[in-house]
Amino acid sequence: DAKTTQPNSMESNEEEPVHLPCNHSTISGTDYIHWYRQLPSQGPEYVIHGLTSNVNNRMASLAIAEDRKSSTLILHRATLRDAAVYYCILRDVDDYKLSFGAGTTVTVRA
């Protein structure tokens, strides 16, 4: 499995943006970049995914570096409900499973 590297933790203030980095220097040309998050005492939930172009949805934005060796998940205005562990995962065409690392624990201060 292609590997990703994320910081262990990040802190943010409520209503401020949060930028979560993910390094994936060994990414292959066919790997998609997926983000999931896990709120306390819940199962993981899908956030966003992309291949080469930046992506936006109602939850977040995904900015992908031109060389695809890194990406950044952007939460535009953090709320207390965004406090969670965020996982950056690479998936190839045959990757049915999600290979989770330790993720980044995001703390949001009121």
Partner 1 sequence: EAGVAQSPRYKIIEKRQSVAFWCNPISGHATLYWYQQILGQGPKLLIQFQNNGVVDDSQLPKDRFSAERLKGVDSTLKIQPAKLEDSAVYLCASSLVAGGRTDTQYFGPGTRLTVL
Residue 22 touching partner 1 (CB under 8 A): no
Q: How far apart are CA 10 and CA 38, in angstroms?
A: 15
Q: Which residues pair with 34 in a beta bridge?
A: 49, 89
Unique residue bearing structure tokens 């031109």: 66
Rg (CA), the chain: 13
Residue 49 touching partner 1 (CB under 8 A): yes
For partner 1, the closer CB: 12 or 104: 104
Select the residue interacting with partner 1 from 52, 98, 107, 109 (CB under 8 A).
Answer: 98
Question: Do 65 and 54 meet the contact criterion of CB atoms below 8 Å apart?
Answer: no
Tokens of 110: 């009121």
Q: Which of 79, 80, 88, 83 is nearest to 107 (CA)?
A: 83
For partner 1, the closer CB: 70 or 91: 91
Least distance CB 61 / partner 1 (angstroms): 18
Site for partner 1 in 25-44 (CB under 8 A): 30-32, 41-44
Residue 93 touching partner 1 (CB under 8 A): yes
Q: Which residues bind partner 1 (CB under 8 A)?
A: 30-32, 41-46, 49, 51, 85, 87, 91-103
